[in-house]
Amino acid sequence: MQLPKEMNALVLKGVRDFSIETVPVPSPDADEVICKVDTTFICGTDPHIINGDFPGFWPTGFPFIPGHEWSGTIVQTGNKAAQLGWKEGDRVCGISHCGCGYCEMCQKGRYNICLNYGHEEKGHRQYGHYTPGAYAQYMRTSVKSIFKVPDGMDLEYAACVDPLSIALYTVERSRLKPGDDILILGTGPQGLMAILCAKALGAGRIIAAGSGERLKKAEELGAIPIDYRTEDVVSKVKDMTNGRGVPAVLECAGTAKSIHTACLAASKGGVVSMIGIPHSDPSLPIKRMVLEEVELVGNRANPNTAQPTIEMLLNNRIDLTPLMTHRFDLKDFATALDTFENRKDGAIKIATKPNG
């Protein structure tokens, strides 16, 4: 397909310095495709990238196009991508990680911790983090980072596969078994999606610690609410479990205090599965963790869970519609970001539309 030479994109020029600008439409390498972007959701990581919270890492420099929760339609393929069966018109959704494909970690399927992270010359990418992303009319991506969207699934819906598959990975890493109680700390988008995944995987009681409207949303989704601002989370969990704690804890808040709480709320032999990234190192109850074999597991992204997530959505095991609250044209990104950051009008998942 003959593509235009230029496109509109959100360009980050420095800390909190962004605007919609006209930039060249990218061309694909052999194993890449160009997609016309339908939807890009605002991820909780995006404001941190925009605010310069990861200097020199995400992104490595400016100008930069962020965005990594996206879906769209293939409009151009590289030679190898075409040989692998990708074609114009395929509807796809993407994830941020693209491993080199050759290192020990990639060969184990753990491309999220690729040994060549950050070395694009060796084949690694992380879209929307240090590799140009999806807040643009067209997206250039390796075929290693996209998945076909089934007929009948709305592309906007499919753009949530990236964050939902991260939630699924976080739940799986807690080693939750059917019937197990689980505590989820944090009721932002990631915590709410984790509730949906835990329910789909057969959790017993799902307990959610949060506050405000999002805690109410957690309760609507079937969780038992604990308001951490007015209640002692650990005491409440112990009261509910005859003093044992829960075998699975998900830490989705990303604060030092929440991580400490998670380690205290876990039962003996319990697992704390952590997706939040704290800005300061937490104080951990190491003595208890050693003597009672409480495990703290870190999670990065969503290796090998995007396709199962698509199947769960397709088979109505999970309904995301209660979380999809707002939609904006990409030209109104400043308003969309303000709505997201300040949780205006019950904002949870906010979609942007690069092509209107």
What are the residue ranges of helices labelled H in the chain?
45-50, 79-83, 104-107, 155-158, 161-173, 189-200, 212-220, 233-240, 256-265, 286-291, 306-314, 333-341
Q: Which residue's structure tokens are 């709305």?
A: 154
Distance CA(312)–CA(346), nearest Å, equals 26
What is the CA angle 27-31-33, rounded to 5? 45
| Domain 164-298: CATH superfamily, name plus number | NAD(P)-binding Rossmann-like Domain (3.40.50.720)
pTM (predicted TM-score): 0.97
Q: What are the angstrom distances between the C-alpha of 267 and each of 262, 264, 327, 342? A: 10, 8, 41, 35
Query: pLDDT tens digits for the chain (356 residues)?
Result: 799 999 999 999 999 999 999 999 999 999 999 999 999 999 999 999 999 999 999 999 999 999 999 999 999 999 999 999 999 999 999 999 999 999 999 999 999 999 999 999 999 999 999 999 999 999 999 999 999 999 999 999 999 999 999 999 999 999 999 999 999 999 999 999 999 999 999 999 999 999 999 999 999 999 999 999 999 999 999 999 999 999 999 999 999 999 999 999 999 999 999 999 998 999 999 999 999 999 999 999 999 999 999 999 999 999 999 999 999 999 999 999 999 999 999 999 999 999 99
Q: Which CATH number fits domain 6-160+320-353: 3.40.50.1000, 2.60.40.10, 3.90.180.10, 3.40.190.10?
A: 3.90.180.10
CB 253 within 8 A of CB 226: no
Strand (E) or helix (H) holding 315 = none
HSE on the CB side for 216, CA within 13 Å? 5
Parse the chain into domains and list their residue ranges: 6-160+320-353, 164-298
Q: What are the angstrom distances between the C-alpha of 337 and each of 18, 328, 342, 344? A: 11, 10, 8, 10
CB 349 within 8 A of CB 191: no
